[in-house]
Chains A and B, each alone.
Chain A
Amino acid sequence: MAADNDTISGYTAAFEGFEASLNGGARSPLHARRREAIAHLQEHGLPTARFEAWRHTNPAPLANGCFPPVVTAGKLSAEAIQPFVVSGIDGPLLVFADGQFVPGLSRVGDLPDGVQVHSLSAADSETAAIITANLAALALGAEHGFAALNTAFVRDGAVVTIHAGCTMDVPVQILHVSTGQAGLTTPRTLVVAAAGSRASVVETFASTTAGAGVLTSSVAEIVVGAGAVVEHARIHLHGADSLHAGTMHVTEEQDARFTAHTFCLAGRILREDVHTVLRGEHIESTLNGLSLPLGDDHVDNYTTIEHVAPDCSSHELYKGVVGGRAHNVFRGKIHVHQAAQRTDAYQSNQNLLMSDDAEINSKPQLEIYADDVKCSHGSTTGQLDPDALFYLQARGVGLQQARGVLTRAFAGELVDRLQHEGLRTHVERLVSARLDAVLADQGGAR
């Protein structure tokens, strides 16, 4: 089955070396998961260009050849991570360098009752039980092997648990930083929000270098209990030459409110799979995404929303501002199971092409097996509205600035959807800086 046997044997050998280095750790429940994962990888392999799910993204740069797992984390300073930390939020901050926890740069501080924030490696016994019950419970059935690759080599990760009815107002910050060491890093996040709890988590993927030869294979698993309200933001600020294949798996129970935000701001190839399952009734689930590729960047957001139970609604809005020769891909699948009557699902994908060489692919995919549903989708692609540009010019605003005003407004809709003000300001700054670069990238020959 494996597409490229050399790649898989490379990973198998790396796994054996990893296992040998673990000594006693090899008997832990976590390691049992790793073994399942490497077996899964050996059986199913990594995606090839023949995979329907990789139609518009050539997996070869990510999947052909073994990226040796990074064993020793590089050095990271407080100054180096400062641009990636949301200023003015004094909540918990977990910092990982090349996939490994950095206690010296992290802080947990005083947490509200019922809230726990740990690194996987330093979990207490209660959290360890939650990890055992939940880790990889969702991700292993993934449509492709990258979730298994992550699980097989996971060294550490972030675990956020909130007890029933408890609230964590301030976003928990998780920072995955690559120090530029070539090879595979495997960031991992688990959020378990029990019934009636509230939580907000922001994950930032960043790099202190351009990161040539860096492959980040990340997995986030999020369990949203009945009536829980969870907001999750992912900010991709990878090195300009870095590769990323990420999966996020979410399960939502009755009356849950879940909102995800995905900001794809930098990285050479960025593939992000989001899969959420609405298992109970009256759930409201929202997926937001903003992609700003430029140069030769390639971004692929591959989303699946599964309506299993009746009377839920889902909203999905993904936008792209695409510069240079960049390529932005969106796949939005809405799967309405037969029992999911009165589903209300809305999906929209909107792209602005800022150069003649920019390219997009947009594919809505509705699979509806219930008869009483409201499902709609829309996709638009175009340039900035020339009449709006002229209107601004007629009020004294220069053409370049007018282009900036309109693209910021276009992208701003997704920034505005962030609930937390400090986080919103932080993302606004990142998006604005990136948009300047996208606007300046008119494409053309290399």
Chain B
Amino acid sequence: MLKITNLHATVDGTEILKGINLEVAPGEIHAIMGPNGSGKSTLAQVLAGHDAFTVTEGSVRYENEDLLDMAPEDRARKGVFLAFQYPVEIPGVNSAYFLRTGLNEVRKARGEEEIDAYDFLALIREKMALVEMDESFLKRSVNEGFSGGEKKRHEVLQMAVLEPRLAILDETDSGLDIDALRVVAHGVNQLHTPQNSAIVVTHYQRLLEYIVPDFVHVLMDGRIVRSGGKELALQLEDKGYDWIREETAAAAAATQPAGA
């Protein structure tokens, strides 16, 4: 479904991603962990198409198409969804309008008809129940005055409405209480089918008890330096990142020519 090969990306001339390789097959859930500032959000934003980042090398194939060649809206229409680490406030645009506008664009791209107001209300009620959000949020400006946890639920709500094929969740668990964590995880799991995949960026093993990953990757200084199964997350929780950093440095030194 997704194949990232040797991806390099810069922001304002500084290289942040330094050769990412990652392959996600249909139905798989991949967790990405790593220290602050290692490039996790950058990877997520590059996949979603943010133009603050410049891809300098490498490729990304999504369902056998060149993902990097597509406008952000086309990626979304083709089923790529990014749950933002920092959801943006949009004063004056209410949540219902925002959700419906996005949904209709995605539906049009799928060759479906635009949803009418009545059906939309029914759909949105069902999805809001899923993420346990009050309907009063529909009338509020997108993310304006939402608490941290409400913003994250609202991201999951958008995901539930748009039903993406590839969901990328950037720290959707950060700032959530235990109940909210379960709600968010439930939202993600609902969407999980043998066809749909997810990339879950998180700092906490705790989320992975609810969303069970097939693979865990460690991103450090712009590279994936280690991959493993879900037990890797437990190891990281236990020991932190230093041991990986040391092992990676040692491996790098070993490949240096002698005397260099």
B37 at the A interface (CB under 8 A) = no
In this assembly, does B49 line the interface, its C-beta being within 8 Å of a C-beta of chain A?
Answer: yes
Interface residues of B in 122-166 (CB under 8 A from A): 142, 158, 162
The listed residue (A388, A393, A406, A413) touching B76 by CB distance below 8 A is A393
| Given A385-B88, A388-B88, A405-B101, residue A397 in contact with residue B73 (CB < 8 A) | yes
- Interface residue tally of chain B, by bracket? 20 to 34
Of all chain A residues, which has the CB nearest B102?
Answer: A395
Question: Which range contains the number of A residues in contact with the other chain?
Answer: 20 to 34
Give the residues in chain A near B103, CB-CB below 8 Å: 396
A421 at the interface (CB under 8 A from B): no
Note all chain A residues with C-beta closer than 8 A to B87.
Answer: 391
Determine the residue in chain A with the shortest Cβ distance to B48: A394
Contacts of A413 in B (CB 8 A): 92
Pick the residue among A388, A395, A399 that contacts B158 (CB under 8 A): A395
Binary flags per residue of A401-437, CB closer than 8 Å to B gives 1, else 0: 1100110111011000000000000000000000000
Nearest CB on A from B156, distance (A): 13
Q: Does A390 contact B (CB under 8 A)?
A: yes
Complex-state Cα separation, A393 to B81, whole angstroms: 11
A387 within 8 Å of B (CB atoms)? yes
- Does A393 contact B93, Cβ atoms closer than 8 Å? no
The one of B75, B76, B84, B93 that contacts A405, using a Cβ cutoff of 8 Å: B93
CA distance A413 to B141 in the complex (A): 12
The 8 A CB mask of A192-210 against B (1 = contact, 0 = none) is 0000000000000000000
Query: Taking A388-B90, A394-B49, A406-B90 as contacts, is the C-beta distance between A399 and B73 under 8 angstroms?
Result: yes
Chain A interface secondary structure, helix, strand, loop or mixed? helix
CB pair B91–A394 under 8 Å, yes or no, is: no
- Asked if A397 and B102 make an inter-chain contact with CB atoms under 8 angstroms apart, the answer reads yes
Across the interface, do B73 and A391 meet the contact criterion of CB distance under 8 Å? no
- Taken residue by residue from 48 to 63, chain B's Cβ proximity to chain A (1 for < 8 Å, 0 otherwise) reads as 1111000000000000
Answer whether residue A74 sits at the interface, using C-beta atoms and an 8 A cutoff: no
Partner of A396 from the list B50, B88, B106 (CB cut-off 8 Å) is: B106
Contact B76 A395 (CB under 8 A): yes
Q: Does A398 have its Cβ within 8 Å of any Cβ on chain B?
A: yes
Residue A368 lies at the interface, judged by CB distance under 8 Å to chain B: no
Query: B178 within 8 Å of A by Cβ?
Result: no
Q: Does A392 contact B (CB under 8 A)?
A: yes
Which residues of chain A in 342-393 are interfacial with respect to chain B, using CB atoms and an 8 Å cutoff? 385, 387-388, 390-393
Q: Mark B66-93, 1 if CB is under 8 A from A, else 0.
A: 0000011101110001101001111111
- Whose C-beta in chain B lies nearest to the C-beta of A409? B92
Asked if B91 contacts A409 (CB within 8 A), the reply is: yes
B100 CB → nearest A CB, Å: 10
**How far is B97's CA from A412's CA once the two chains are assembled, in angstroms?**
13
Contact among A385, A399, A408, A409 with B71 in the assembled complex (CB-CB below 8 Å): A399
Interface pair B102/A396, CB less than 8 Å apart: yes
In contact, A393 and B73 (Cβ under 8 angstroms): yes
Are A397 and B90 in contact, with the CB atoms below 8 A?
Answer: no
B92 cross-chain contacts in A, Cβ below 8 A: 408-410, 412-413
Residues of B near A410 (CB, < 8 A) are 92
* Cross-chain contact A396 with B105 (CB below 8 angstroms): yes
A393 in contact with B72 (CB, 8 Å): yes
Contact A387 B101, beta carbon cutoff 8 Å: no
Q: Indicate if the CB atoms of A393 and B162 lie closer than 8 Å.
A: no
Which of A388, A396, A398, A409 has the most chain B CB atoms closer than 10 A to its own CB?
A: A396
Task: State which of B89, B91, B105 has its C-beta within 8 Å of the C-beta of A397.
Answer: B105
| A173-214 contacts to B (CB < 8 Å) | none
Report the minimum CB–CB distance from A59 to chain B (whole Å).
Answer: 35
Q: Is the CB of B98 within 8 A of A406?
A: no
- Which 5 A-B pairs have CB atoms at the shortest separation, nearest pair first? A409-B92, A395-B102, A396-B105, A393-B72, A396-B76
12 A-B residue pairings within 8 Å (CB atoms): A387-B88, A390-B72, A391-B142, A392-B90, A393-B71, A395-B76, A395-B105, A396-B76, A397-B101, A401-B105, A405-B93, A408-B92
